[in-house]
Structures are given as structure tokens and as C-alpha cells.
Amino acid sequence: MQENGFESALKVNEGVDQPPVVNPYLGNFYKKNRTRLLTEEEYVNGIKAGNTTILSQAITLVESSLPEHRELAQKIISRCIHFATDSMRIGITGVPGAGKSTFIEAFGSLITNKGHKLAVLAIDPSSEKSKGSILGDKTRMETLCNDPNAFIRPSPSSGSLGGVARKTRESIILCEAAGYDVIFIETVGVGQSETAVHSMSDFFLLLMLAGAGDELQGIKRGIMEMSDLIAITKSDGNNREKATLARALYKNALHLFPPTDSGWEPTAVTTSSVTREGLEDVLEIIHKYFELTRANGYYLNKRREQSRYWMYETIQEDLRNRFYENEVVKSNLGHYENMVLEGKLSSFAAAGELIEKYNSTHKHNI
Amino acid sequence: MQENGFESALKVNEGVDQPPVVNPYLGNFYKKNRTRLLTEEEYVNGIKAGNTTILSQAITLVESSLPEHRELAQKIISRCIHFATDSMRIGITGVPGAGKSTFIEAFGSLITNKGHKLAVLAIDPSSEKSKGSILGDKTRMETLCNDPNAFIRPSPSSGSLGGVARKTRESIILCEAAGYDVIFIETVGVGQSETAVHSMSDFFLLLMLAGAGDELQGIKRGIMEMSDLIAITKSDGNNREKATLARALYKNALHLFPPTDSGWEPTAVTTSSVTREGLEDVLEIIHKYFELTRANGYYLNKRREQSRYWMYETIQEDLRNRFYENEVVKSNLGHYENMVLEGKLSSFAAAGELIEKYNSTHKHNI
């Protein structure tokens, strides 16, 4: 059987990150077949050779909360960072109902048919609760799931947005080292996760439905202005005329936005995952974007800036975790938050008192 | 002579926050006239009585970097928080050249003429370097500077954005306790400062010029989508027709944005600070906004959320400062940042090593 990313992801997910599954029907099957840890060398070589099972296992290490896994993961990443291809990292988000999974299925297949190797990753901190991640529903991406040139990995399902985003960004590096030259990073169009996706993508694609009414509910304001391309989806059948009109409206609106730092002029297209209308256009536009930004230096500059950004972001995430996981802070936070919400204490006084309590739990040597 | 906020701000600025000024022309004049610190009681009573000199001095304490000043400031704020009026906090930003200062001068005068007390504050972390803050140029706001019902305070001129924003937000509380029921918080339309202004305003006003070309350069993408009202300025003389056209374009574009959480529908107007066209409209729109959001509960909810946000933001700022001011971190940061920028080390490995170095400088008691 063809081993693909999604299957192997499921397989290795137990064993490394989670307690052994004791399914009454399976007995100790999973426990017995627990995947052993490979050596750093084996992981790196496996990834370089494009072995998706090993790639999946390495990503599982990235997602693990065990310190020894994290440490091994860091070693692997530090070596893989040097094999990164000249990839295209494409962030994809969209309004609920825009048909993100069918779009990714159709557009992704187009991309692998052109000879690219495609990795589909996701940032969806809410997936554990809402099960809303489209990648959780792999039945909608049957073609791509069985495509040997596609590697699909669901969102890390637990942790804060910062933690989830870090894991996804590290996974990008591993996928690129494994030869995937097109990376989709998808997210559901709510919350802060688009900003995280934007901060690790070269190109940002927004999927929209025709009709700017209720359909927009759920997408965060500000997303439109960070998009490099708006694709109006479901432009087929009766909907085609409406989609064409929407495209014209969005194109006009995009002209009113301040110019992008990249020198790129964002535009809008209509697409259909059924008739495949517009999918070639999307790819052509993406290629044009990369041509422009590779020529004017923006591509490399942005990548460097993103790396710097993620260094600072990771530091912040760590400082934050250390603070909020402190027992004294934990047991006092609710009280202070209530005082602030009720207007009994200023935000600053509350913060000051919490910090004082936190500092009293450790002391500086220097 | 009528004492106004700006003058007294200048007067008390030395003495508290800065080393004594030894101006060769003035000798020790300033030093001798150094403002003495009042008691907590005196500050609170002075502020409640609407004494602008004392208000200015209290804001200077807020801006001070001396721990004893900050502590006194916190005590004052904690008491003033209970006298806050049912104010309107209006964030104002705009593209360079949109005429923010003349707008604030004209619109502010309209507001005080209606019997309101107006405080104009600013967030401009760059003001020290660029001197770009419009409030630094008080000559452009002569009327307002001499208006007994207006209190004008330039942006705190040093520190990180987080620090500057905190100071401005604390100043809002003091101004409201002093009876100012309309607060303008202005910022230059670049960088991250709009987000900070947005996070402490009830209403966000964006000033734009007609013609969506080069004039947009310098304003950050995403600002338009956080605006409650876009005012096209300089709608006078030859420019009037262009402004009217721009207004129609922006109105259309605003309709394409996702709905606001407030239930408010952002709109666009044309204004002129010369002919005063549209200024009454702006005020009327603002009143409608407050009517709507006070009725539907959004006003109070947003204020509460902002307070919570600022508590967490202040904690973060403190953790960050503590980290980046650590000597070991300071002396290693540049090296790691370069390694990351040159692609020699992953963002995460660099962050990890810096954090390890930082942690080695202090230990937890528990």
C-alpha cells in the first residue's frame, strides 16, 4: 500500500506524544507496535531521502511536549534548515463555507500534476475542541491524500496559538528538507491564526464567497488587507454571475488599500473547484508573485525578517508560559482579572501586583 | 495668564522625569524652580478639581522612569479610576499629509464649543527621533492650546511602543478623572502604534486624502479595516470634487469588509478644516456610534475587554523588558540574531539558547 503522509501521521501520533491507546477492540495492539525513536542521523537521512514515514515521525517529535523529544527535534531542524528548497510557502484562509478543503484538493492536485511536491500543513489551535480543521476531515481530500507527491499533516491539536504556530513553522522546515517545494499553510478564517500563518507564508491567499453579506461573518477584519490574492470560490452554475460581480467589487476595493511592501498589486479571481475554472489563473498569479518578489529581493528579505520575528516570538512564548504556569500566578490570576473587569483595580496595578508575586518566587543570581 | 495643559506639561516635565536642565543662558533657573512632589492626596484632589497643573504633574509621574514616581502614580491612578466619566475616547490616525493637526484643531474647537472638555493625548514612540508628532508642533494648534476647555499633552517621548502606550492609557484615566469627557488619542499613521491606539479607544477615526495613490504610502495595511469612520480631509477648493469621489469609493469598499463586532456600519465623509465642511457630520456620526454601542452593551464590554487586555499587555511588557535588559541576553542577542538572519541557526534553536542563558542568571525558589 502506498504510504502517504496522512496515514503515517496517524500511525506515529500515538507512541510518541500520547499515552498508549488501549482500545477495547484492539487490545494492546498499538502499545505493542509503538514506534521506536530513531537516531538524529536516521531522521535527517530519512527526511533528506523524502521518506514520508520518517518525516511524519520527525514532525511528531516537533509536536511532542516531552523535553527529550523537543531536544532531538531541534537537532534535526538545525540540520534540515540547510537543505531547504527554494520553496513557495502559501498561506490559505477563507470564510467559513468558502470550500477551503475542496479548493485545496482541486488546486493541490493541479500543483502536483505540474510536477511539484506539495505539503499541506495547518494552524488551527481550536481543532481539538471544535474539530473544525478541514484537514481533520480527510475524506474531503481523497485524491490528495492518495497522491504520492502530496504530504498532508493536520494541525497540531493542542496548545496555545503561539505553540501551535511554532510547531507548524518547524514542520515547514522539515517538509522543505524532504523536497516539498510548495507548502500550503491553511487556517480557519477566525481568530488570530491568520496573522500567524501570514508570518510564515510568502504569499497569502484569501478564499471568499460571492455576496458580501452574512458570509463574511466569522472572518476577522484586517485579513483582506493582508491578502495577495482573493479567490472568489464556487463560481459555477447559478453562482457564476454573482461571483464575477464580487470579483469586480473586490478588485476595486483592493485598489483603495495602501501599497504592499512587496510591490505586488493584490488582485481578485473567480474559481470553481468543480469546473476547475480559475485554478490555472491562481497558479499563474502565484508564479508571477514569486517572479516579482524573487527579483526585487522581497522574497529573501521577508524570509529573513520572518526568521527574526520567530526568534523573538519564541522567546516571548517561553517567557509567557513560564509566567502563566507559575503556581502563585495561577492561583491569583483569576482574582486580579476580576478586579480589573469590575473596574476596582487599574490594569497596571493588577499587572504590577501579579509580577511582584511572580518575582518573589525566584531570584536573580546576577 | 491662563494656565493650559501644554504649558504646564512643559513646565513640570523637567524636575520630575529628567536630570536638571543646566541651560547656559538660564543658569540654574530650572533647577531652583524644580517642582516639588505633592502628596497622593494633593494629586487626587487637584485632579478631581480639574487643576491642569496638577493633572500635568501627575501625568509626568506616570511617564517617569523612577520607581518611586511610578509607585505614587499607581496610587493616584487606582483612586482616579473611580472618578472616570462616561467619556468618549476617540482614536485618530491618518496618512501623512492628511492634515491631522489642523483637523484636530478645527474639530477639537467644535467639540469644546459644544460645552465638552477635551483632552488630546498621543502615542508616538518615534517622536523623540523624528519629532514627527503633530502635538510636538503646538504652533499648528494655537486655538486649542489657548482653549481653557482643552488639555493637550504630547506623546511620552521615550521607550518602547508598549511603554509609551501604557503611559498614554494611564493618562486617559487621569484626564477623565479631571472631568475631560472627550479624549482624542492621536497617532502618526505608521508602524504598530495604531493598534495600540485602537486598543484604548472607543471609536477609531481615519483621516485620508482624496486619491488613493502615493498618498497611501506610509499607512499600514489593516488600518482601514479597524476604522469606524473615514474622513476624507481637505475637501475644499479644487480638491472638493476629488474628495467627494473618494468618499464614494471608500464607502463602497467599507461595505465589502466583514461586519464589525459593535454592530456599527463604518462610513466615509468629506471634511475641510478650512471651510469646516463635514465637521458637524463627524461629530454627529460619533454621537450615533456612542448611542448605538452604549445601548447594545458593546461600549462597556469593549472597555472591560480593553482593561483585561492591558493587564496582560503590561505583564508581557514587563517580562520582555526584564529579559532584554538582562546583561547576558544583551551581550548575546546580536550574535544569535545574525545567525538566524544568515540561516545558520533556526529561529527556535536561537531562542532556546538565549532563554537557557537567561535562565542560568536566576533560579526559582519554588
**Top-confidence range, B95-104, B244-253, B292-301:** B292-301
**Cβ–Cβ of A365/B361 closer than 8 Å?**
yes
pLDDT tens per residue, range A137-195:
555 678 888 899 999 988 776 667 777 888 899 999 999 999 999 999 998 755 677 88
Q: Which of residues 90-149 of A touch B (CB under 8 A)?
A: none
Specify the domain boundaries for CATH 1.10.287 within chain B. Answer: 305-359
Q: What is the DSSP string of B95-160?
A: -TTS-HHHHHHHHHHHHHHTT--EEEEE--TTHHHH---GGG-GGGGHHHHT-TTEEE-PPP-SS-
Residue A27 is given by DSSP the state T
Q: Does A160 touch chain B (CB under 8 A)?
A: no
Please give the pLDDT value at position B162.
Answer: 75
Higher-pLDDT residue of A217, B223: B223
Confidence at residue B67, expressed as pLDDT on a 0 to 100 scale: 85
* Distance (Å) from the alpha carbon of A218 to chain B's nearest alpha carbon: 8
Fold of B84-296: Rossmann fold (3.40.50)
Q: For residue B255, give the nearest of A212, A255, A365 by CB distance.
A: A212
In terms of Cα–Cα distance, which of A94, A98, A80, A145 is closest to A118? A145
B314/A255 touch (CB, cutoff 8 Å), yes or no: no
Question: How far is the C-alpha of B18 from the C-alpha of A215, rounded, in Å?
Answer: 55
The answer to whether B98 and B208 have CB atoms below 8 angstroms apart is yes
pLDDT for B253 beyond 90 = no
pLDDT value, residue B3 = 39
Nearest CA to B38 among B72, B11, B9? B72
The pLDDT mean for chain B works out to: 82
Residues in A 41-80 with any Cβ partner in B closer than 8 A: 74, 77-78
Q: Each residue's pLDDT tens digit in chain A (366 positions)?
A: 343 433 333 333 333 444 333 334 433 333 434 557 899 999 999 999 999 999 999 999 998 888 899 889 999 998 998 887 789 999 999 877 788 889 999 999 999 999 999 999 988 765 443 444 445 555 567 888 889 999 998 877 666 777 788 889 999 999 999 999 999 999 875 567 788 888 899 999 999 888 645 455 556 667 888 899 999 999 999 899 999 988 988 888 888 777 888 999 999 999 999 999 999 999 999 999 999 999 999 999 999 999 999 999 889 988 998 899 899 999 999 999 999 998 888 898 899 999 999 988 876 444
Q: Identify all chain A residues contacting B304, using CB atoms and an 8 Å cutoff.
A: 341, 343
Which residues in chain B are closer than 8 Å to A226, comparing Cβ atoms?
221-222
Whether B147 shows a pLDDT value over 50: the answer reads: yes
How far apart are alpha carbons A232 and A278 in whole angstroms? Answer: 9
Closest residue in B to A165 (Cα–Cα): B348
Over residues B229-246, the mean pLDDT reads 92
Residue A220: predicted pLDDT = 66
Residue of A nearest to B211 (CA): A256
Q: Give one DSSP letter per residue of A64-118, joined into a string.
A: --SHHHHHHHHHHHHHHGGG--S-EEEEEEE-TTS-HHHHHHHHHHHHHHTT--E
Q: How far is CA A40 from the centre of its chain?
A: 25
Q: At residue B127, does pLDDT exceed 60?
A: no
B206, containing H or E segment: strand B203-208
Among A215-224, B72-81, B154-163, which is the least confidently predicted range?
Answer: A215-224
Once rounded to an integer, what is the mean pLDDT over residues B41-57? 95
Residue to test with chain B: of A40, A219, A315, A323, most B Cβ within 10 A: A315
B63-73 mean pLDDT = 89
Closest CA to B73 of B88, B59, B87: B59
* Strands ordered across the beta sheet of A118-123: A150-152, A118-123, A182-187, A88-94, A203-208, A229-232, A267-270
Tell me which of A155-164, A342-351, B180-189, B224-233 is least confident: A155-164
pLDDT value at residue B123: 83
- The ipTM, to two decimals, is 0.75
- Spatial distance between the Cα atoms of A171 and A165, rounded to a whole number of angstroms: 10
State the pTM of this model: 0.74
Average pLDDT in chain A: 82
Percent of chain B with pLDDT over 90: 51
pLDDT confidence bin for B25, thresholds 50/70/90: very low
* Residue A8 distance to chain B (closest CA, Å): 25
Question: Is CATH 1.20.1300 the classification given to domain B305-359?
Answer: no
Query: By C-alpha distance, which of A358, A325, A366, A286 is closest to A107?
Result: A286
CATH 3.40.50.300 residue ranges in chain B? Answer: 84-296
Tell me the shortest Cα–Cα distance from A331 to chain B, in angstroms: 14
Q: Is B195 on the interface with A (CB under 8 A)?
A: no
